[in-house]
Amino acid sequence: MKDPIPNNKPLRAKAFGERFRAACDDSPHCPAKHQGRYSWIIERFKEKRGETISPETCRKWHEGEAQARRDKVVTLAKILDADPIWLETGHKSTESAENARYATQESPNSVSITIRPNKIVVIQNLPDDLSATEARRIARMVQAYVVEP
C-alpha cells in the first residue's frame, strides 16, 4: 500500500499563525495577547464584515492550528493594516503606478496584475517552484483586497 499523499495544511496553518501573531504584534491598535487581543479582533471583524467569528476560531488562527479562508484573511489584513498576500502566503506584494513599466518584464518569480487602467500591482520574489495555479490564487487575492465593495 502506498503512503498517503502528505497533507501540508498543518504546516501552512502553523506558518499562517506565526504571520498572524506578527501582524497583531505590529499593529499599533491590537492589544497584547492576554489583554483582550481575541475580543478586539472579533469585534473589529464584526464591524468590517458584519460576521461573527468565535473566540475558538480566533484562537486557532492565532495559534496556527487552522488557516483562515482567503476572504477572512483579507478582512484580518485590513483590521491589522497588514499586507493580505503576506498574511496568507508569506510573500510580500508591492504596489505603485511606477511598477507599470515592469508589467511586460515579468520574471519567473514575479507576477503583475492590472487593477485599473492606471494601476498595476507587481508581486515580486515568489518562490521559483510556485505553480501557475498558486500564482493565480495570489493574483485573485490581490484583486479581492484592492477592489473594495
The separation between the first and the last C-alpha atoms of the chain, rounded to the nearest angstrom, is: 50
Closest among 24, 27, 55, 26 to 42, alpha carbons compared: 55
In terms of residue numbers, what domain contains 17?
Answer: 9-89
Same structural domain, 19 and 59: yes
Do the Cβ atoms of 71 and 144 come closer than 8 Å?
Answer: yes
Q: Does residue 54 carry a pLDDT above 90?
A: yes
Q: What are phi and psi of 74, to 5 degrees?
A: -60, -45
pLDDT score for 38 = 95
The dihedral through the CA atoms of 99, 104, 108, 111 has a sign that is positive
Predicted local confidence at residue 137, as pLDDT: 76
C-alpha span between 7 and 57 (Å, rounded): 21
In a domain, 117, yes or no: yes
Q: What is the pLDDT of residues 59-104, one digit of tens each?
A: 999 999 999 998 899 999 999 989 888 898 888 765 433 343 333 3
Q: Is residue 4 part of a domain?
A: no
The predicted pLDDT at position 114 comes to 64
CATH (domain of 77): 1.10.260
Among 43-57, 78-92, 110-124, 131-145, which is the least confidently predicted range? 110-124
Tell me, yes or no, whether 13 and 79 share the same domain.
yes
Find out whether 53 and 42 touch, Cβ atoms under 8 Å.
Answer: yes
